Protein backbone atom coordinates (compact mmCIF):
# COMPACT_ATOMS: atom_id res chain seq x y z
CA UNK A 1 0.00 0.00 0.00
CA UNK A 2 1.27 3.46 -0.84
CA UNK A 3 1.75 5.70 2.16
CA UNK A 4 1.93 9.50 2.31
CA UNK A 5 5.19 10.77 3.75
CA UNK A 6 4.95 12.38 7.20
CA UNK A 7 7.42 14.24 9.39
CA UNK A 8 9.54 12.50 12.01
CA UNK A 9 11.90 13.96 14.60
CA UNK A 10 12.69 17.48 15.71
CA UNK A 11 14.47 18.52 12.50
CA UNK A 12 11.51 17.33 10.43
CA UNK A 13 9.08 19.20 12.65
CA UNK A 14 11.01 22.42 12.00
CA UNK A 15 10.92 21.83 8.25
CA UNK A 16 7.22 20.98 8.27
CA UNK A 17 6.41 24.17 10.16
CA UNK A 18 8.18 26.42 7.67
CA UNK A 19 8.00 24.71 4.27
CA UNK A 20 5.41 22.70 2.35
CA UNK A 21 6.13 19.05 1.54
CA UNK A 22 5.86 17.63 -1.97
CA UNK A 23 3.21 15.11 -3.01
CA UNK A 24 5.27 11.97 -2.77
CA UNK A 25 4.00 8.43 -2.14
CA UNK A 26 6.09 5.40 -1.25
CA UNK A 27 5.84 2.34 -3.53
CA UNK A 28 8.56 0.00 -2.33
CA UNK A 29 12.13 -0.21 -1.07
CA UNK A 30 14.94 -2.43 -2.37
CA UNK A 31 17.00 -3.36 0.68
CA UNK A 32 20.71 -4.17 0.98
CA UNK A 33 21.53 -2.13 -2.11
CA UNK A 34 23.88 0.83 -1.96
CA UNK A 35 23.12 3.67 -4.36
CA UNK A 36 25.16 6.86 -3.95
CA UNK A 37 24.29 8.21 -7.41
CA UNK A 38 21.47 7.23 -9.78
CA UNK A 39 20.32 8.38 -13.21
CA UNK A 40 17.31 7.46 -15.36
CA UNK A 41 18.05 6.47 -18.97
CA UNK A 42 15.02 6.43 -21.29
CA UNK A 43 17.04 4.90 -24.14
CA UNK A 44 17.63 1.67 -22.22
CA UNK A 45 14.55 2.10 -20.01
CA UNK A 46 16.54 1.67 -16.84
CA UNK A 47 18.27 3.23 -13.85
CA UNK A 48 22.07 3.54 -13.73
CA UNK A 49 23.51 3.21 -10.23
CA UNK A 50 26.94 4.08 -8.81
CA UNK A 51 27.81 2.51 -5.46
CA UNK A 52 31.13 4.29 -4.84
CA UNK A 53 33.15 1.34 -6.14
CA UNK A 54 34.69 0.72 -9.56
CA UNK A 55 31.36 -0.69 -10.78
CA UNK A 56 28.19 0.71 -12.31
CA UNK A 57 24.92 -1.23 -12.21
CA UNK A 58 21.94 -0.99 -14.57
CA UNK A 59 18.52 -1.72 -13.06
CA UNK A 60 15.13 -2.00 -14.73
CA UNK A 61 12.59 0.62 -13.70
CA UNK A 62 11.21 -2.08 -11.37
CA UNK A 63 14.56 -2.52 -9.63
CA UNK A 64 15.76 -5.76 -11.29
CA UNK A 65 19.49 -5.91 -12.03
CA UNK A 66 20.15 -6.03 -15.78
CA UNK A 67 23.86 -5.31 -16.12
CA UNK A 68 26.98 -4.70 -14.05
CA UNK A 69 30.45 -3.73 -15.25
CA UNK A 70 33.82 -2.34 -14.20
CA UNK A 71 34.22 1.30 -15.26
CA UNK A 72 38.00 1.41 -15.01
CA UNK A 73 37.66 4.22 -12.49
CA UNK A 74 38.73 3.34 -8.95
CA UNK A 75 35.59 4.81 -7.41
CA UNK A 76 32.50 6.27 -9.08
CA UNK A 77 30.94 8.95 -6.89
CA UNK A 78 28.40 10.37 -9.35
CA UNK A 79 27.08 9.75 -12.85
CA UNK A 80 24.68 11.06 -15.47
CA UNK A 81 23.34 9.95 -18.83
CA UNK A 82 24.63 11.40 -22.10
CA UNK A 83 23.80 10.71 -25.74
CA UNK A 84 26.56 8.11 -26.24
CA UNK A 85 26.59 6.59 -22.76
CA UNK A 86 27.50 7.84 -19.30
CA UNK A 87 29.57 10.61 -17.76
CA UNK A 88 31.07 9.43 -14.46
CA UNK A 89 33.03 11.29 -11.77
CA UNK A 90 35.21 10.12 -8.89
CA UNK A 91 34.43 13.01 -6.53
CA UNK A 92 38.00 14.33 -6.70
CA UNK A 93 37.71 16.38 -9.88
CA UNK A 94 38.22 13.61 -12.45
CA UNK A 95 35.56 12.81 -15.06
CA UNK A 96 35.38 10.10 -17.70
CA UNK A 97 32.98 9.17 -20.50
CA UNK A 98 32.06 5.52 -21.01
CA UNK A 99 29.58 3.67 -23.22
CA UNK A 100 26.74 1.52 -21.90
CA UNK A 101 29.04 -1.51 -21.71
CA UNK A 102 31.64 0.31 -19.63
CA UNK A 103 34.16 0.93 -22.44
CA UNK A 104 36.05 4.24 -22.27
CA UNK A 105 34.99 6.82 -24.86
CA UNK A 106 37.74 9.32 -24.00
CA UNK A 107 40.57 9.90 -21.54
CA UNK A 108 39.96 11.20 -18.00
CA UNK A 109 39.46 14.98 -17.89
CA UNK A 110 38.24 17.85 -15.70
CA UNK A 111 34.74 19.07 -16.49
CA UNK A 112 35.49 22.42 -14.81
CA UNK A 113 38.35 23.83 -12.76
CA UNK A 114 35.85 24.76 -10.04
CA UNK A 115 34.68 21.16 -9.48
CA UNK A 116 36.32 18.82 -6.97
CA UNK A 117 33.88 17.31 -4.48
CA UNK A 118 31.22 16.33 -7.05
CA UNK A 119 28.45 14.51 -5.17
CA UNK A 120 25.66 14.69 -7.76
CA UNK A 121 25.55 15.22 -11.52
CA UNK A 122 22.77 15.67 -14.08
CA UNK A 123 23.04 16.48 -17.79
CA UNK A 124 20.23 18.88 -18.68
CA UNK A 125 18.29 19.06 -21.94
CA UNK A 126 20.44 21.94 -23.28
CA UNK A 127 23.69 20.00 -22.71
CA UNK A 128 24.73 21.87 -19.59
CA UNK A 129 25.27 20.06 -16.28
CA UNK A 130 23.63 20.51 -12.89
CA UNK A 131 26.16 19.66 -10.18
CA UNK A 132 25.91 19.53 -6.39
CA UNK A 133 28.80 19.60 -3.94
CA UNK A 134 28.72 19.52 -0.13
CA UNK A 135 32.01 21.23 0.74
CA UNK A 136 31.02 23.99 0.29
CA UNK A 137 27.30 23.34 -0.16
CA UNK A 138 26.68 24.36 -3.77
CA UNK A 139 24.30 23.83 -6.67
CA UNK A 140 25.95 24.78 -9.94
CA UNK A 141 25.13 24.83 -13.62
CA UNK A 142 28.20 24.13 -15.75
CA UNK A 143 28.40 24.68 -19.51
CA UNK A 144 29.93 21.89 -21.65
CA UNK A 145 33.11 24.00 -21.95
CA UNK A 146 33.42 24.22 -18.15
CA UNK A 147 32.05 27.75 -17.70
CA UNK A 148 30.07 28.28 -14.49
CA UNK A 149 26.62 29.51 -15.53
CA UNK A 150 25.00 29.45 -12.08
CA UNK A 151 26.27 29.04 -8.51
CA UNK A 152 23.88 28.82 -5.55
CA UNK A 153 24.90 28.12 -1.96
CA UNK A 154 22.59 25.66 -0.22
CA UNK A 155 23.32 26.90 3.30
CA UNK A 156 21.65 30.18 2.29
CA UNK A 157 18.36 28.46 1.42
CA UNK A 158 15.41 28.56 3.82
CA UNK A 159 15.55 25.96 5.28
CA UNK A 160 19.28 25.41 4.58
CA UNK A 161 20.42 22.60 2.29
CA UNK A 162 23.79 21.95 3.92
CA UNK A 163 24.74 18.52 2.51
CA UNK A 164 23.43 18.17 -1.06
CA UNK A 165 24.29 14.76 -2.49
CA UNK A 166 22.21 14.00 -5.58
CA UNK A 167 20.48 16.07 -8.25
CA UNK A 168 18.07 15.57 -11.14
CA UNK A 169 15.52 17.66 -13.05
CA UNK A 170 11.91 17.14 -14.08
CA UNK A 171 11.60 18.10 -17.77
CA UNK A 172 7.84 18.74 -17.51
CA UNK A 173 7.73 21.16 -14.57
CA UNK A 174 11.33 22.39 -14.91
CA UNK A 175 11.90 21.77 -11.20
CA UNK A 176 15.26 20.65 -9.83
CA UNK A 177 15.28 17.86 -7.25
CA UNK A 178 18.14 17.58 -4.76
CA UNK A 179 18.58 15.18 -1.83
CA UNK A 180 20.27 16.36 1.37
CA UNK A 181 21.91 13.64 3.52
CA UNK A 182 21.88 12.88 7.26
CA UNK A 183 24.39 15.61 8.04
CA UNK A 184 21.73 17.95 6.73
CA UNK A 185 17.96 17.36 6.83
CA UNK A 186 17.89 13.95 5.07
CA UNK A 187 15.22 15.43 2.83
CA UNK A 188 14.18 15.97 -0.77
CA UNK A 189 14.48 19.62 -1.86
CA UNK A 190 12.34 20.73 -4.81
CA UNK A 191 13.70 23.91 -6.39
CA UNK A 192 12.72 26.29 -9.16
CA UNK A 193 15.39 26.76 -11.88
CA UNK A 194 16.64 29.91 -10.11
CA UNK A 195 17.06 28.05 -6.80
CA UNK A 196 13.82 29.16 -5.14
CA UNK A 197 12.81 26.48 -2.62
CA UNK A 198 9.38 25.06 -3.53
CA UNK A 199 9.13 22.18 -1.07
CA UNK A 200 11.21 20.18 1.41
CA UNK A 201 10.13 16.59 2.09
CA UNK A 202 11.63 14.54 4.98
CA UNK A 203 12.89 11.08 4.02
CA UNK A 204 14.12 9.66 7.33
CA UNK A 205 11.29 7.16 7.73
CA UNK A 206 12.34 5.54 4.45
CA UNK A 207 16.11 5.42 4.83
CA UNK A 208 19.24 6.96 6.29
CA UNK A 209 21.70 9.20 4.45
CA UNK A 210 19.94 10.11 1.19
CA UNK A 211 22.61 10.35 -1.51
CA UNK A 212 21.15 9.69 -4.96
CA UNK A 213 18.01 10.81 -6.80
CA UNK A 214 16.56 10.09 -10.24
CA UNK A 215 13.21 10.60 -11.94
CA UNK A 216 11.38 8.69 -14.67
CA UNK A 217 9.46 11.76 -15.89
CA UNK A 218 6.74 10.19 -18.03
CA UNK A 219 5.48 8.14 -15.06
CA UNK A 220 6.47 10.46 -12.21
CA UNK A 221 8.47 7.64 -10.63
CA UNK A 222 11.09 8.94 -8.21
CA UNK A 223 14.11 6.91 -7.04
CA UNK A 224 16.08 7.82 -3.91
CA UNK A 225 19.27 6.01 -2.91
CA UNK A 226 20.30 5.81 0.74
CA UNK A 227 24.00 5.29 1.48
CA UNK A 228 24.24 4.37 5.18
CA UNK A 229 20.79 2.78 4.99
CA UNK A 230 21.87 0.59 2.04
CA UNK A 231 18.53 0.94 0.23
CA UNK A 232 16.87 2.21 -2.93
CA UNK A 233 13.37 3.60 -2.36
CA UNK A 234 10.82 4.07 -5.15
CA UNK A 235 8.05 6.69 -4.97
CA UNK A 236 5.33 8.38 -7.00
CA UNK A 237 6.01 12.12 -7.20
CA UNK A 238 3.94 15.12 -8.31
CA UNK A 239 5.57 18.55 -8.82
CA UNK A 240 4.54 21.30 -6.44
CA UNK A 241 4.20 23.82 -9.27
CA UNK A 242 5.20 24.36 -12.90
CA UNK A 243 8.16 26.73 -13.17
CA UNK A 244 8.82 26.77 -16.94
CA UNK A 245 6.56 27.74 -19.85
CA UNK A 246 7.64 24.99 -22.25
CA UNK A 247 8.54 21.41 -21.27
CA UNK A 248 12.14 20.35 -21.81
CA UNK A 249 13.27 17.50 -24.06
CA UNK A 250 12.95 14.30 -22.02
CA UNK A 251 14.37 11.85 -24.54
CA UNK A 252 12.64 8.80 -26.09
CA UNK A 253 9.66 7.10 -24.52
CA UNK A 254 10.55 4.23 -22.21
CA UNK A 255 9.11 0.94 -23.46
CA UNK A 256 8.07 -0.15 -19.97
CA UNK A 257 6.42 1.62 -17.03
Q: Which residue has the higher pLDDT, 257 or 233?
A: 233
CATH superfamily of 3-238: TolB, C-terminal domain (2.120.10.30)
Q: Which residue has the higher pLDDT, 151 or 12?
A: 151
The CA-atom distances, in angstroms, between 243 and each of 121, 169, 175 are 21, 12, 7
Per-residue pLDDT averaged across 63-86, rounded?
95
Q: Residue 227 and residue 83: Cα distance in Å, rounded? A: 28
- Say what the pTM is: 0.91
Q: Which residues contact 43 (CB under 8 A, 6 or more apart)?
A: 81, 251, 252
* Confidence label for 253 from pLDDT (cuts 50, 70 and 90): confident
The conformation of residue 253, written as its DSSP 8-state character, comes to P
| Average pLDDT over all residues of the chain | 91
The CA-atom distances, in angstroms, between 116 and each of 90, 111, 164, 250 are 9, 10, 14, 28
* Confidence label for 144 from pLDDT (cuts 50, 70 and 90): very high
Per-residue pLDDT averaged across 76-100, rounded?
96
Q: Residue 189 and residue 197: Cα distance in Å, rounded? A: 7
pLDDT at 250: 83
User: In angstroms, how far is CA 228 from the centroid of its own chain?
Assistant: 16
pLDDT at 138: 96
Per-residue pLDDT averaged across 238-254, rounded?
92
In DSSP terms, which residues pair with 67 in a beta bridge? 58
* Confidence label for 228 from pLDDT (cuts 50, 70 and 90): confident
Q: Residue 39 and residue 58: Cα distance in Å, rounded? A: 10
Domain limits, the chain: 3-238
Q: Which residue has the higher pLDDT, 243 or 252?
A: 243
> Helix H segments across 137-187?
none
Amino acid sequence: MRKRLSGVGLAVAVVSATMAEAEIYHRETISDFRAVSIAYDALVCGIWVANESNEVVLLSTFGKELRRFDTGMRSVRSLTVEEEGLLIANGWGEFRRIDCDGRAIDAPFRLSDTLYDTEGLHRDADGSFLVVEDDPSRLLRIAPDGTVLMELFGDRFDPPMTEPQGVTRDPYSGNILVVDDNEGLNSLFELAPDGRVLSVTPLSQYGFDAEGVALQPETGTLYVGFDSGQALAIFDWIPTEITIDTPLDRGPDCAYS
